[in-house]
Structure 1
Amino acid sequence: MNKSMKILVTGKDGQLAQELQKRIPAGIELIALDRNDLDITSAGQVMQTMTHYKPDAIINAAAYTAVDKAESEKEQAYAVNATGPENLAKACREMGIRLIHISTDFVFDGQSSTPYQPQDAVRPLGVYGESKAAGEAAVQSILPQAVILRTAWVYSAHGANFTNTMLRLMSERDELSIVADQIGSPTSTQTLAETIYTIISKTETSGIYHCTDAGTASWYDFAVAIYEEAKALGLLEEEKNIKIRPISTADYPTPAARPAYSVLDKSRLIVDLNLESQHWRRVLRRVLQEKTGS
C-alpha cells in the first residue's frame, strides 16, 4: 500500500471486526465503530458518519446473526442485514467510497453436492439467509463495484462461536452429541482478516467472492478436531475423556433450517488475489495455540 488508507469497519465488537483490529497492516488507519457509534439501519446516520470520517473504504462486518431468533425477529434481521447494507451502499456511491460487504453461506439451500460458485442462484432456507440475500442484492444493484465476501462457519480465539462453546462444554461434560449431517468449511477470522486486507490492497477487485479455509467437515468432525487439538495443547485436562457422539439434524431440531451442504468454491478468490488456502484443521491448531498464549 503506497499511501495511507482510512478504513472504517462496522460491527466493532464482533469476532471479525476484533480480528481486523488486531491485524492492521502498515499504511492503514482503521476506525472501528459499534452500533452506538453508527446505526447502519439509519440512512441519515450513515451519511453523517461517512461525511465526518471520509474513509477510503468501508468493511461492513455488522450483522444480525442469531439464526434461530431471526425466525421470530424478522423485522430486526432485515433492518440490520438488508436495510443496513443498502444505506451503506448508497452513501458509498454518493461519496465514492469502496464497500466490502461480508455475507454468508446461508444464502444457499444446501441441496448442492458440489461447492457453491459465487454466481450460483441464492435460495435461502430461513429469515437469516433471506435477509442476508436481500442485503447482497441491494449492494449489487446500488454499487456494482462493491465486493461481497461470503464466508461460513466462522470462529476465532475469542467471542461467541462453535469452537469456544465446544471448549466450554468439554470442560463441563463427559459426553456431547453433535450434528454429523451438515457439511461445510470451518473458517478462522484470521483467514478472513488477511483476505479482507488483501482485497483492500487490490483496489480494482469487485464482485462476489467466497472465502473459507480449505477442506470440509461436519460439525461432528469439527468438534472431534477441537477436542483432539485442545487436549494436545493442554487446553483440556489430560485425564478428561469425552465421548463425542454423531447425531442427525433431525435429532437436534432448531427453529431455523440449516443448509445440509454449504461448501463454498474459493477458486475465484485464490486466482484473482493470488492467495493460498490452508486446511481448516491446520488453521484450527493455530487459533487454539493463540488461546494458550504461545
Structure 2
Amino acid sequence: MIKVLLTGSSGQLGYSLIKTKPANICLITPNRKELDLSNPQECFIKTLDIKPDWILNCAAYTSVDLAESNHELCFKINRDAPKYFAKALNLVGGNLIHISTDYVFNGAQNFPYQTDQIKNPINIYGKSKAEGEDEIQKAMTKSKNYYILRTSWLMGEKGGNFSSKIIELLSKRDQIDVISDQFGSPTTTKSLANVIWGLISKDKLIKQYSFNKYPIYHWTDEGITSWYELALEIYSIGSKLGLIEKNKIINPTKSSNYKTNAQRPLFSALDCNSTQKLLNIKRIPWQKSIYQMLLEQLKEKNLNI
C-alpha cells in the first residue's frame, strides 16, 4: 500500500480525490484541527510523524480578495506550509504533489502559458503561490521528488465554486451580470484528480524517462473561454437538467465595472501539452466536463432527497 497524506480533504478537490482513490492507496485525511497549515512547524512535525510516501497538498488560502488584507496568513499557508512539507519529506524519503495556480502569471499575453515561463503575479494570492513553488524547488533541488501541478478555474460537484455560485444566484434573481473580458480554462476536480493519481502510479517511469528539468506541469480541461461564456454554458446545461429555472438572463460586463480588492489576470490559460504527453492522456472539452460535473451534482442531489 502507498501511504498518502492529503491536505484539504474537506475541499472540492479533496472530495474528488477520495472518491476516485485507487485500491492500492492508504489515504490519511487530517482535518484542520489535526493539521493546521497556518503553523508550518506543525506541518514539519506531522510529516516526520506519519512518514508518508506522498503528500498531496491540495489545501490553500484561496480567498483572492481577502488575501490582499491578510498577507501573513496567506503566506503561511501558501508558501511556508509547502516549504516545511518539502523539508520533512526530504528526511523521510517521501514525495510531494503541490497544487498551484494560473494566478502565478500576470495575464498580459493572449496565448497559453508554458510551464517554464517567468512568473509575474499581480495579486497577493498569486504571489504567495508563486513563492510556495519557489520554496519547494529550493528544498527539493537534489531529490526532485515533487510535482508542481498548476490548474485554473477549478470546479467540482461538491460545490463552493463558480458553477455553484452561478446556480445559487440564478435561483434568487431573474438576471445577473458576469465578467466577459477575463479568459481562461475551466477544470473539473474529477479531471484533475485523475491526473494526480496518474502521476503517482507512473512516478517511477516518469523519473526514469522524463527530461523535464523542473517537475512543473499544467492541467486544465480543453478549450479557452470567458467567465461570461462559462456562465451561459452552466445555465444552458443546468436548466436542461432541472438545476436552474428557465427564462433567466445573464448579461456580459467588463472587469472595470466589477470592483474587487485584488486584480485578476485577463488571460490565464495554461499549456498542458507536456502533461498530456507525460501521462499519455487527452483533455476533455470543458463543455463536456461541465456537463458531467452537473450531472453528478444532480445525482448527488437526488440521492439526498
Which TM bucket (shorter chain)?
Answer: over 0.9
Per the alignment, residue 136 of structure 1 pairs with: 133
Whether contact under 8 Å (1:7, 1:31) holds in the other structure is yes
Alignment of 1:70-89 (within 5 A): 70-89=67-86
Per the alignment, residue 203 of structure 1 pairs with: 203
What is the DSSP-based 3-state SS (H/G/I as helix, E as strand, rest coil) of the residue aligned with 2:46? helix
What is the DSSP-based 3-state SS (H/G/I as helix, E as strand, rest coil) of the residue aligned with 2:163? helix
Per the alignment, residue 243 of structure 2 pairs with: 235
CA distance in 1, matches of 2:78, 2:40: 14
Whether contact under 8 Å (1:50, 1:91) holds in the other structure is yes
Q: Choose the corresponding residue for 1:37, options 31, 34, 37.
A: 34
Whether contact under 8 Å (1:21, 1:32) holds in the other structure is no
Per the alignment, residue 211 of structure 2 pairs with: none
CA distance in 2, matches of 1:185, 1:195: 16
**TM superposition shift of 1:123:** 0.2
Q: Which moved more, 1:265-274 or 1:198-207?
A: 198-207
Q: Does 1:125 align with 2:133?
A: no
CA distance in 2, matches of 1:143, 1:266: 23
What is the DSSP-based 3-state SS (H/G/I as helix, E as strand, rest coil) of the residue aligned with 1:129? helix
**TM superposition shift of 1:48:** 2.7
Query: What TM-score, normalized by structure 2, do the two folds share?
Result: 0.92
Q: Choose the corresponding residue for 2:265, options 237, 259, 264.
A: 259
Whether contact under 8 Å (2:6, 2:27) holds in the other structure is yes
**TM superposition shift of 1:133:** 0.3
Whether contact under 8 Å (1:115, 1:263) holds in the other structure is yes
Per the alignment, residue 225 of structure 2 pairs with: 217
Whether contact under 8 Å (2:183, 2:268) holds in the other structure is yes
CA distance in 1, matches of 2:115, 2:257: 32
**TM superposition shift of 1:258:** 0.3
What is the DSSP-based 3-state SS (H/G/I as helix, E as strand, rest coil) of the residue aligned with 2:260? coil
Per the alignment, residue 14 of structure 1 pairs with: 11
CA distance in 2, matches of 1:254, 1:271: 38
What is the DSSP-based 3-state SS (H/G/I as helix, E as strand, rest coil) of the residue aligned with 1:293? helix
Q: Does 1:68 align with 2:74?
A: no
Alignment of 1:95-106 (within 5 A): 95-106=92-103
Question: What amino acid is the match of 1:158?
Answer: K
**TM superposition shift of 1:268:** 0.3
Question: What amino acid is the match of 1:209?
Answer: Y
CA distance in 1, matches of 2:260, 2:45: 40
Whether contact under 8 Å (1:40, 1:88) holds in the other structure is no
**TM superposition shift of 1:74:** 0.6
Whether contact under 8 Å (1:180, 1:220) holds in the other structure is yes
Per the alignment, residue 147 of structure 1 pairs with: 147
Whether contact under 8 Å (1:67, 1:128) holds in the other structure is yes
Q: Does 1:23 align with 2:20?
A: yes
Output one character per residue of 1:76-128: Cα deviation in whole Å (capped at 9) or x when no partner: 11010001111111001111100000000000000011100000000000100
User: Identity rate of aligned residues, in percent?
Assistant: 41
**TM superposition shift of 1:14:** 1.3
CA distance in 1, matches of 2:157, 2:69: 30
Unmatched 5+ residue regions in structure 1? none
Whether contact under 8 Å (1:57, 1:98) holds in the other structure is yes
Question: What amino acid is the match of 1:277?
Answer: R
Unmatched 5+ residue regions in structure 2? 207-213, 301-305
CA distance in 2, matches of 1:88, 1:192: 21
Question: What amino acid is the match of 1:136?
Answer: E
Alignment of 1:50-61 (within 5 A): 50-61=47-58
> Which of structure 1's runs of 4+ aligned residues deviate more than 4 A?
none
